[in-house]
């Protein structure tokens, strides 16, 4: 009962924030203390689970990226260095990298934080990877259509949320580097999205093309948070542009179309309905969209785009609504969970992006009352404990992840199965053929064991086959081995390239240096073969990290006892009698394939890391083991080549199409996880 009365009391206090007779100082202080309370609560609960997820959001996920936007604004205003230090700590843990999808705007929003911190600390590492990622997109723009089409096309800004996530990163890079081409590129893409999703009659954005032309209860469907993403995102972009520049005026025109339309549909209670034109069907308050709109309106007044006398009542009413849904501890309630359309919200449920939007709104409202003057509030006593709590939980997550990695990494010689050498992590498994098979058909090709569980399978599958007469060529729920190698290159086998023909070395003759650690495994395989009277040797130093679908190889070649520099070498993929679809990317020195095995898609790939010229070749054949895709290069002056090889299997669920396989490979190339 006491908690209920305390909650009512706090809500009543905030309801009089603008209309009471207290001085501006006191009103501004009340805004600041409310923002402080929400910020501290969210930091303490940073590693909670939300939206019914089983695990906390990844620290580079868009949900957290939106939180960082608001938290950074509050950190700058409050002048309490602990907020900025916490954001820097999170960025360090995230290695200053964007999230995993190369083109996906949701995975770019965290870059806003990195670039903002760069402007504060002036440390090049803080912006290096973000700039590199964006530069790649600019140099290699996606060719996908602008329509989302049931999530088939997500490489461009095909849904309105993306206009908050991606464009501000481009605008910030333009300002930091002085390179206007970032803005030019961004505006072209922004305009394509706007032409596609903006309804000129309503001055609102459809969430994506699936809502265009659709009516519910006789009304068009405009999602509140979706339009909040756009309205808030416009302010983030304009903050980075020169006022009255053509670029600024482009975004200003959209903003000034949306503002009066949004003002007109604010509910009597002060929030915006989840379906903006259908408040009767969605009476439940929703605070994430409302926070973004409040932030956008307060920013507009502060930057002279909106008349204070006209929009202050809108801001006041929205703020009263928002603060009435904050618990005494500081949790912002009625945040709609992750979604893409009007839905439900609850008083006891929140999300990180809702808190981020609220912090941005409160910061702008404080500025409306007091400008950039530091709030006259005591440093939070709760913040230190909140940071300690969230940091300890995050460190435990990383420790648990490292432990899990050490448990799933495996590499060993398998003498009980004709001298195989097998290795695996949590997502892929492979084997190479050894001395016992030197007189058989097999050679130096690499076999893929298609696993669909994140636990080790090598020992179990061999044991089942050898001791229980259960073949690993049958899937019993963990995966199986349907991938035929024989005398082919398999997935990433190397060969000499002599007289325009692939000449494979025989199976390995010995292994050494097996080391399985917490964050990677390594081992060495030694090969030798006499070809045309010359004795060739190859030493493969193999490395595999947890979570990576490609293993890394540094191969050194000798000819007649001497390091073989400029030796023509191929790294190949079998195409299984040309059943696999091949794609060559000569610029990236990448070859990948997509095929169907037992009605399930399989992507394989090889990637060269070399300054030497690379030739591509498709060897077509309907004979067993003779059809290949090949990358042909030469060893360097030390007789070495460096390459990567691996696979993604549809039945394991993560790589479910050739498009997703290509996206994974592009991200792998960008992030260089073995460097």
Report d(CA 568, CA 565) in Å as an integer: 9
210 touches 245 (CB < 8 A): no
284 touches 345 (CB < 8 A): yes
Which candidate, 182, 297, 175, 189, places its Cα nearest to that of 242? 175
Positive or negative CA dihedral for 92, 94, 95, 97? Answer: negative
How many alpha carbons fall within 13 Å on the CB side of residue 300? 31
Q: Where are the alpha helices (DSSP H) in 198-324?
A: 224-238, 246-264, 287-302, 308-323
Report d(CA 424, CA 430) in Å as an integer: 6
* H or E element that contains 412: strand 410-414
End-to-end alpha-carbon separation of the chain, Å? Answer: 58
Report the 10 Å Cβ neighbour count for 501. Answer: 10
137 touches 103 (CB < 8 A): yes
Strands 615-619 and 590-597: unpaired
- Percent of the chain as helix, strand, coil, to the nearest 5: 40, 20, 40
One DSSP character per residue, 523-566 reads: EEEEEEEEETTEEEEEEEEEEE-TT-SEEEEEEEEEETTEE-TT
Q: Where are the alpha helices (DSSP H) in 156-270?
A: 162-165, 167-177, 181-197, 224-238, 246-264
The four Cα atoms 352, 353, 358, 363 give a dihedral, to 10 degrees, of 100
* C-alpha 425 chain-centroid distance: 21
Catalytic annotation, residues = 161
Report the 10 Å Cβ neighbour count for 226. Answer: 30
Report the 10 Å Cβ neighbour count for 10. Answer: 17
Positive or negative CA dihedral for 450, 454, 458, 460? Answer: negative
Report d(CA 391, CA 400) in Å as an integer: 14
Region of 474 please: left (phi>0), alpha (psi -120 to 50) or beta.
beta
């Amino acid at each position: 009962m006491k908690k209920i009365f305390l909650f009512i009391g706090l809500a009543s206090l905030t309801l009089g924030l603008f209309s009471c007779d207290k001085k501006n100082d006191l009103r501004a202080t009340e805004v600041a203390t409310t923002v402080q309370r929400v910020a501290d609560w969210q930091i303490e609960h940073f590693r909670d689970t939300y939206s019914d997820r089983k695990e906390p959001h990844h620290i580079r996920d868009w949900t957290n990226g939106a939180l960082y936007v608001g938290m950074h604004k509050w950190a700058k205003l409050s002048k309490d260095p602990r907020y900025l230090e916490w954001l820097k700590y999170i960025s360090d843990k995230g290695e200053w990298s964007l999230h995993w999808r190369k083109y996906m705007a949701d995975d770019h929003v965290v870059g806003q934080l990195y670039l903002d911190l760069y402007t504060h600390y002036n440390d090049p590492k803080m912006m290096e990877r973000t700039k590199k990622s964006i530069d790649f997109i600019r140099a290699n723009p996606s060719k996908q259509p602008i329509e989302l089409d049931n999530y088939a096309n997500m490489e461009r800004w095909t849904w309105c949320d993306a206009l908050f996530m991606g464009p501000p990163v481009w605008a910030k890079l333009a300002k930091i580097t002085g390179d206007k081409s970032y803005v030019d590129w961004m505006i072209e893409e922004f305009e394509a999205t706007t032409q596609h999703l903006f309804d000129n009659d309503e001055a609102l954005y459809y969430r994506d093309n699936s809502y265009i032309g659709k009516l519910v209860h006789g009304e068009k469907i405009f999602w509140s948070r979706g339009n909040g993403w756009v309205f808030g995102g416009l302010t983030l972009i304009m903050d980075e542009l020169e006022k009255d520049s053509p670029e600024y005026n482009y975004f200003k025109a959209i903003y000034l179309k949306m503002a009066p339309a949004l003002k007109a549909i604010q509910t009597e209670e002060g929030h915006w309905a989840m379906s903006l034109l259908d408040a009767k069907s969605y009476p439940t308050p929703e605070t994430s969209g409302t926070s973004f709109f409040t932030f956008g309106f307060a920013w507009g007044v502060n930057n002279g785009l909106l008349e204070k006398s006209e929009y202050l009542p809108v801001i006041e009413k929205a703020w009263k609504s928002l603060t009435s849904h904050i618990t005494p501890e500081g949790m912002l309630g009625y945040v709609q969970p992750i979604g893409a359309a009007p839905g439900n919200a609850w008083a006891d449920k929140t999300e990180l992006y809702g808190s981020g939007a609220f912090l941005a709104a409160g910061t702008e409202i404080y500025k409306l009352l007091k400008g950039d003057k530091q709030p006259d509030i005591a440093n939070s006593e709760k913040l230190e404990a909140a940071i300690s709590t969230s940091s300890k939980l995050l460190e435990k997550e990383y420790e648990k992840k490292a432990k899990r990695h050490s448990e799933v990494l495996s590499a060993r010689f398998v003498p009980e199965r004709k001298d195989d050498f097998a290795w695996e992590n949590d997502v892929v498994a492979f084997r190479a053929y050894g001395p016992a098979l030197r007189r058989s058909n097999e050679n130096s090709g690499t076999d893929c064991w298609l696993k669909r569980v994140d636990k080790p399978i090598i020992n179990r599958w061999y044991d089942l086959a050898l001791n229980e007469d259960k073949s690993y060529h049958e899937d019993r729920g963990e995966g199986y081995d349907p991938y035929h190698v024989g005398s082919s290159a398999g997935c990433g086998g190397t060969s000499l390239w002599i007289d325009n023909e692939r000449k494979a070395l025989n199976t390995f003759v010995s292994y050494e240096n097996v080391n399985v650690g917490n964050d990677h495994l390594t081992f060495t395989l030694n090969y030798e073969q006499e070809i045309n009277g010359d004795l060739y040797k190859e030493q493969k130093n193999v490395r595999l990290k947890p979570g990576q679908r490609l293993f890394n190889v540094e191969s050194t070649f000798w000819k007649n006892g001497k390091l073989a520099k400029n030796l023509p070498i191929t790294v190949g993929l079998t195409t299984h009698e040309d059943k696999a679809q091949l794609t060559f990317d000569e610029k990236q020195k990448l070859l990948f394939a997509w095929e169907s095995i037992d009605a399930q898609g399989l992507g394989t790939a090889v990637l060269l890391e070399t300054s030497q010229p690379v030739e591509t070749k498709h060897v077509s054949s309907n004979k067993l083991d003779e059809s290949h895709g090949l990358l042909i290069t030469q060893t360097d002056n030390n007789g070495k080549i460096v390459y990567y090889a691996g696979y993604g299997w549809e039945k394991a669920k993560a790589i479910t199409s050739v498009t997703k396989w290509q996206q994974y490979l592009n991200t792998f190339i960008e992030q260089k996880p073995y460097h």
